[in-house]
Amino acid sequence: MTSAPLTLTVNGRPERLEGVPGGERLLDALRWRLGLKGTKEGCRSGDCGACTVLVDGVSVLSCLTLVHDVDGSRVTTIEGVAREPIGNAVRAAFDRAGALQCGYCTPGFVMALTGLLNERGTAAPLDELLDGLQGNLCRCTGYAAIVRAIALAQEAIR
Protein backbone atom coordinates (compact mmCIF):
# COMPACT_ATOMS: atom_id res chain seq x y z
CA MET A 1 0.00 0.00 0.00
CA THR A 2 1.33 3.43 -0.91
CA SER A 3 0.43 6.83 0.44
CA ALA A 4 0.63 10.49 -0.41
CA PRO A 5 3.99 11.79 -1.64
CA LEU A 6 6.68 12.32 0.98
CA THR A 7 8.89 15.37 1.13
CA LEU A 8 12.40 15.40 2.54
CA THR A 9 15.33 17.73 2.35
CA VAL A 10 18.28 15.49 1.56
CA ASN A 11 21.75 17.02 1.68
CA GLY A 12 20.18 20.47 1.39
CA ARG A 13 18.06 19.58 -1.63
CA PRO A 14 14.25 19.21 -1.54
CA GLU A 15 13.10 15.75 -2.60
CA ARG A 16 9.59 14.49 -3.32
CA LEU A 17 9.11 10.73 -3.09
CA GLU A 18 6.03 9.20 -4.66
CA GLY A 19 4.59 5.72 -4.40
CA VAL A 20 6.51 4.85 -1.24
CA PRO A 21 5.16 1.71 0.47
CA GLY A 22 4.46 2.06 4.19
CA GLY A 23 7.22 -0.35 5.19
CA GLU A 24 10.04 1.12 3.10
CA ARG A 25 13.18 1.85 5.05
CA LEU A 26 14.99 5.18 4.84
CA LEU A 27 18.10 3.25 3.76
CA ASP A 28 16.30 1.89 0.70
CA ALA A 29 14.82 5.26 -0.24
CA LEU A 30 18.25 6.89 -0.05
CA ARG A 31 20.08 4.19 -2.00
CA TRP A 32 17.51 3.12 -4.58
CA ARG A 33 15.16 6.06 -5.05
CA LEU A 34 17.72 8.87 -4.70
CA GLY A 35 20.88 7.04 -5.83
CA LEU A 36 22.87 7.93 -2.71
CA LYS A 37 25.00 4.81 -2.40
CA GLY A 38 27.37 6.12 0.29
CA THR A 39 25.03 4.95 3.03
CA LYS A 40 25.83 1.26 3.42
CA GLU A 41 23.74 -1.70 4.48
CA GLY A 42 25.67 -3.94 6.80
CA CYS A 43 23.40 -5.99 9.03
CA ARG A 44 19.74 -5.02 8.45
CA SER A 45 19.23 -5.20 12.22
CA GLY A 46 20.78 -2.02 13.65
CA ASP A 47 23.85 -3.79 15.03
CA CYS A 48 26.69 -2.42 12.87
CA GLY A 49 26.07 1.30 12.31
CA ALA A 50 27.08 1.25 8.63
CA CYS A 51 23.77 2.84 7.63
CA THR A 52 23.95 5.83 9.99
CA VAL A 53 22.62 9.13 8.63
CA LEU A 54 21.55 12.38 10.29
CA VAL A 55 17.89 13.26 10.57
CA ASP A 56 17.47 16.85 11.68
CA GLY A 57 21.07 16.74 12.93
CA VAL A 58 20.67 13.58 15.04
CA SER A 59 22.26 10.28 14.01
CA VAL A 60 19.83 7.47 13.22
CA LEU A 61 20.14 3.98 11.80
CA SER A 62 18.51 4.20 8.40
CA CYS A 63 18.01 0.41 8.23
CA LEU A 64 15.63 0.67 11.21
CA THR A 65 13.93 3.94 10.24
CA LEU A 66 10.86 3.96 8.02
CA VAL A 67 10.96 6.69 5.41
CA HIS A 68 7.38 7.66 6.34
CA ASP A 69 8.59 8.43 9.88
CA VAL A 70 10.94 11.14 8.60
CA ASP A 71 8.52 12.83 6.21
CA GLY A 72 9.24 16.57 6.30
CA SER A 73 12.68 16.09 7.89
CA ARG A 74 16.16 17.20 6.92
CA VAL A 75 18.35 14.18 6.11
CA THR A 76 22.12 14.33 5.72
CA THR A 77 24.07 11.44 4.23
CA ILE A 78 27.80 10.96 3.78
CA GLU A 79 27.46 12.61 0.36
CA GLY A 80 26.27 15.84 2.00
CA VAL A 81 28.15 15.88 5.30
CA ALA A 82 31.01 17.99 3.92
CA ARG A 83 28.58 20.93 3.68
CA GLU A 84 28.29 21.00 7.47
CA PRO A 85 31.27 22.42 9.40
CA ILE A 86 31.39 19.64 12.00
CA GLY A 87 30.77 16.93 9.42
CA ASN A 88 33.47 18.30 7.14
CA ALA A 89 35.97 18.34 10.03
CA VAL A 90 35.10 14.74 10.96
CA ARG A 91 35.38 13.55 7.36
CA ALA A 92 38.76 15.25 6.94
CA ALA A 93 40.00 13.85 10.28
CA PHE A 94 39.18 10.28 9.21
CA ASP A 95 41.18 10.88 6.04
CA ARG A 96 44.17 12.41 7.89
CA ALA A 97 44.21 9.64 10.52
CA GLY A 98 44.09 6.90 7.89
CA ALA A 99 40.93 5.55 9.51
CA LEU A 100 39.56 4.28 6.21
CA GLN A 101 41.05 0.83 5.57
CA CYS A 102 38.42 -0.95 3.40
CA GLY A 103 36.05 2.02 3.81
CA TYR A 104 32.78 0.12 4.17
CA CYS A 105 32.13 1.24 7.76
CA THR A 106 33.61 4.71 7.34
CA PRO A 107 30.42 6.54 6.25
CA GLY A 108 28.59 5.20 9.30
CA PHE A 109 31.40 6.21 11.66
CA VAL A 110 31.64 9.69 10.13
CA MET A 111 27.89 10.23 10.37
CA ALA A 112 27.62 8.82 13.91
CA LEU A 113 30.50 10.96 15.18
CA THR A 114 29.08 14.04 13.47
CA GLY A 115 25.74 13.38 15.15
CA LEU A 116 27.39 12.88 18.54
CA LEU A 117 29.35 16.11 18.23
CA ASN A 118 26.17 17.92 17.17
CA GLU A 119 24.26 16.51 20.16
CA ARG A 120 26.90 16.56 22.90
CA GLY A 121 29.11 19.42 21.82
CA THR A 122 32.52 19.49 20.29
CA ALA A 123 34.25 19.46 23.68
CA ALA A 124 32.64 16.17 24.75
CA PRO A 125 35.16 13.88 26.50
CA LEU A 126 36.76 11.19 24.35
CA ASP A 127 35.36 8.41 26.56
CA GLU A 128 31.83 9.76 26.05
CA LEU A 129 32.28 9.83 22.29
CA LEU A 130 33.72 6.32 22.24
CA ASP A 131 30.74 5.10 24.28
CA GLY A 132 28.44 6.76 21.76
CA LEU A 133 30.17 4.96 18.89
CA GLN A 134 29.88 1.47 20.40
CA GLY A 135 27.13 0.61 17.93
CA ASN A 136 29.47 1.16 14.97
CA LEU A 137 31.55 -1.83 14.00
CA CYS A 138 34.68 -2.11 11.89
CA ARG A 139 35.88 -5.53 10.87
CA CYS A 140 39.21 -4.36 9.42
CA THR A 141 40.96 -2.22 12.03
CA GLY A 142 41.96 -2.28 15.66
CA TYR A 143 40.10 1.03 16.04
CA ALA A 144 43.30 2.97 16.89
CA ALA A 145 43.07 5.07 13.72
CA ILE A 146 39.40 5.78 14.44
CA VAL A 147 40.28 7.00 17.94
CA ARG A 148 42.97 9.23 16.40
CA ALA A 149 40.40 10.57 13.94
CA ILE A 150 38.07 11.53 16.80
CA ALA A 151 40.85 13.50 18.51
CA LEU A 152 41.84 15.17 15.22
CA ALA A 153 38.23 16.15 14.53
CA GLN A 154 37.81 17.70 17.96
CA GLU A 155 41.10 19.58 17.55
CA ALA A 156 40.08 20.91 14.13
CA ILE A 157 36.67 22.06 15.36
CA ARG A 158 38.00 23.95 18.39
Residues 66 and 89 both lie in one domain:
no
Residue-averaged pLDDT of the chain? 94
Residues 89 and 26 both lie in one domain:
no
Residue 4's pLDDT band, with cuts at 50, 70 and 90, is confident
Residues 145 and 100 both lie in one domain:
yes
- For 56-78, b/e burial (b = at least 16 CB within 10 A) is eeebbbbbebbbbebeebebbbb
Residues 49 and 92 both lie in one domain:
no
Number of domain units in the chain: 2
Domain annotation covers residue 1: no
pLDDT at 75: 98
Domain annotation covers residue 142: yes
Report the percent of the chain where pLDDT is more than 90: 87
The domain that contains 93 carries what CATH number? 1.10.150.120
Residues 133 and 153 both lie in one domain:
yes
Residue 129's pLDDT band, with cuts at 50, 70 and 90, is very high
Report the percent of the chain where pLDDT is more than 70: 99
Neighbour tally for 132: CB within 10 Å = 18
Residues 100 and 62 both lie in one domain:
no
Residue 103's pLDDT band, with cuts at 50, 70 and 90, is confident
The domain that contains 47 carries what CATH number? 3.10.20.30
Phi, psi values for residue 71, rounded to 5° = -55, 130
Domain boundary among 50, 76, 102: 76
Residues 106 and 58 both lie in one domain:
no
> Is the predicted pLDDT of residue 8 greater than 60, yes or no?
yes
Amino acid at 10: V
pLDDT at 122: 86
pLDDT digit string, tens, across residues 47-60: 999 999 999 999 99
Residue 1's pLDDT band, with cuts at 50, 70 and 90, is low
pLDDT at 109: 96
Q: What is the mean pLDDT of residues 24-40?
A: 97
> Is the predicted pLDDT of residue 67 greater than 80, yes or no?
yes
For residue 121, the enclosing domain spans 81-157
Domain boundary among 30, 60, 76: 76
